[in-house]
């Protein structure tokens, strides 16, 4: 999750999830600090960086929501990417220097064949310009010093890879992928398979699971809203449990909740037989995440404090 700093005077407890539409040209951490200042929130963190040249959905967790940010980090994402064929750069995107240029002789048929190779579970090597660490050092720091090191490939999964538009050297893609997928590298790998090379010219993150059709807010919109009532700004926040809707719901009686909140496992009739579950008290609402034990009881996994 993104870094948090000590709260300035006048900041307050804020709880919930904001879906920020990150603007072009700033880092995810700078966007996070801007949002935190707008909300005057004591505690906030983002859930998965976007490069400065990328825009789109960046979930920001406030307060108690930060306890569940890891689940958003692990979730799948969707992107709209534009690639330029026939050119490669040092960074795999428009920030880098041009390394090579080749003519583009790509037919629709050959493009479809290349795209098909990247759907499903594949191995991908992280780019040098990434936050992956090598012997304690971020790869992008080594890359800026002109140092290239061997990187281990990782298994990722491309659930969907569709061509939206293809015109000469411009290729637009709709992508749904697992966590840890580098779209810059995907663009380069497709270009290499086509024999002409490619780099990423534009990237928009369109969704983060489970927020498929949710509204996002720009920084300008939030600043305008913040000039009004505090409640108007609060209305931009989603409830914490909205990040956890992929897990089954288990309803607890007040007695069950009492023991769960004391750290004890309880027997809940008709609960799932395994995995994580959302815990909802019939009077208090969402109280946290539980884990089904081997004996069928529900144990506390990540619990809310009273807010």
Catalytic residues: 51
CA gap 242, 107 in Å, rounded? 44
> Which secondary-structure segment (H or E) carries 162?
strand 154-167
Provide the CA 201 distance to its chain's centre, in angstroms: 20
Residues 6+ apart with CB under 8 A from 228: none
- The token duo for 169 is 């050297």
Residue for token pair 């009273």: 306
Report residue 200 CA to chain centroid gap: 19
Bridge-based pairing state of the strands 198-208 and 54-62: parallel
Three-class HEC string of 66-121: HHHHHHHHCCCEEEEEEEEECEEECCCECCCCEEEECCCCCCHHHHHHHHHCCCEE
């Amino acid at each position: 999750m993104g870094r948090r700093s000590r709260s300035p005077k006048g900041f307050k407890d804020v709880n919930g999830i904001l879906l920020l539409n990150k603007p072009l040209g700033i880092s995810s951490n700078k966007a996070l600090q801007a949002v935190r200042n707008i909300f005057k929130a004591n505690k906030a963190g983002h859930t998965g960086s976007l490069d400065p040249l990328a825009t789109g959905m960046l979930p920001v967790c406030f307060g108690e929501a930060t306890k569940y940010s890891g689940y958003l980090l692990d979730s799948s994402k969707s992107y709209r990417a534009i690639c330029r064929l026939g050119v490669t750069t040092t960074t795999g995107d428009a920030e880098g220097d041009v390394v090579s240029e080749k003519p583009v002789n790509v037919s629709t048929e050959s493009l479809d064949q290349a795209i098909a190779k990247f759907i499903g579970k594949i191995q991908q090597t992280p780019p040098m310009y990434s936050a992956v660490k090598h012997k304690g050092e971020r790869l992008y720091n080594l890359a800026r010093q002109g140092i290239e090191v061997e990187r281990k490939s990782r298994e990722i999964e491309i659930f969907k890879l569709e061509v939206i538009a293809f015109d000469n050297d411009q290729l637009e893609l709709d992508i749904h992928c697992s966590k840890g997928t580098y779209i810059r590298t995907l663009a380069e790998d497709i270009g290499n398979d086509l024999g002409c090379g490619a780099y990423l010219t534009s990237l928009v993150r369109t969704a983060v699971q489970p927020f498929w059709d949710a509204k996002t807010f720009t920084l300008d919109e939030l600043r305008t809203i913040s000039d009004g009532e505090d409640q108007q700004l609060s209305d931009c926040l989603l409830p914490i449990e909205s990040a956890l809707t992929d897990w089954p719901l288990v309803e607890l009686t007040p007695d069950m909740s009492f023991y769960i909140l004391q750290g004890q496992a309880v027997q809940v009739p008709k609960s799932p037989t395994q995995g994580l579950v959302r815990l909802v008290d019939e009077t208090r609402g969402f109280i946290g995440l539980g884990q089904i034990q081997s004996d069928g009881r529900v144990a506390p996994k990540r619990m809310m404090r009273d807010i």
